[in-house]
Amino acid sequence: MSRPRKPTHLKLVTGTLRKTRANPDEPKLPHGLPPRPRDLSPSERAAWDRFGATLTKMRVCTPEDFAALELLACTYAEVQDLTAYLRKNGWTYQTVSTEVPGGFMVRPHPEAALLRAARRFLLVMLGRFGLTPSDRPGVNAGPDPHSGDPDDEFKSK
């Protein structure tokens, strides 16, 4: 998988933006949290609320990010559910061996492979929202509209 494209606002800040390669019609969307889908399970709703609060503070989510945020919340809940299952039942199980009379084999639970895949995807989704320490420096949320003097906008005019 190739490295994702660097956002235009980051190119501008770092000084690597070339006007000939910039997209003048790039959409500029307002920050905000999309409405929570109604068909989420309780654990998915809890994940949505938790990530929604964090992304709102970071000012990196827009209402148009509903599908990505839903994938993030559902994947996080899936990782939690699979982890709980494996903690309760163990990572392996025993089965009777047909090759050795009276023998048995120890096999990994299929849920272990599902958990590994879900964790990999969760890490990708966390990175897309800038929710990992290594991805956070690449996120530029812009200035906080609630910081500083509220009269600044009138003083500059």
Find the mean pLDDT for residues 44-58: 93
Find the mean pLDDT for residues 27-50: 90
31 DSSP 8-state letter: P
Model pLDDT, residue 143: 57
Q: What is the pLDDT of residues 65-121, one digit of tens each?
A: 899 999 999 999 999 999 999 999 999 999 988 887 878 889 999 999 999 999 999
**Dist. CA 96–CA 101, nearest whole Å:** 9
pLDDT band of 140, cuts 50, 70, 90: low
User: Which of 44-58, 115-129, 136-150 has the lowest average pLDDT?
Assistant: 136-150
Average pLDDT, the chain: 83
Q: Under a CB-based contact definition with an 8 Å cutoff, are residues 77 and 44 in contact?
A: yes
Find the mean pLDDT for residues 35-59: 93
Does the pLDDT of residue 17 top 80, yes or no?
Answer: no
Model pLDDT, residue 10: 61
Q: Under a CB-based contact definition with an 8 Å cutoff, are residues 71 and 88 in contact?
A: no
Does the pLDDT of residue 123 top 80, yes or no?
Answer: yes
Where does residue 69 rank: exposed (0-12), middle (13-18), buried (19+ CB within 10 A)? buried
Model pLDDT, residue 122: 96
Residue 127 C-beta-side C-alpha neighbours within 13 Å = 12
> SS3 of 75, please?
helix
Does the pLDDT of residue 26 top 80, yes or no?
Answer: no
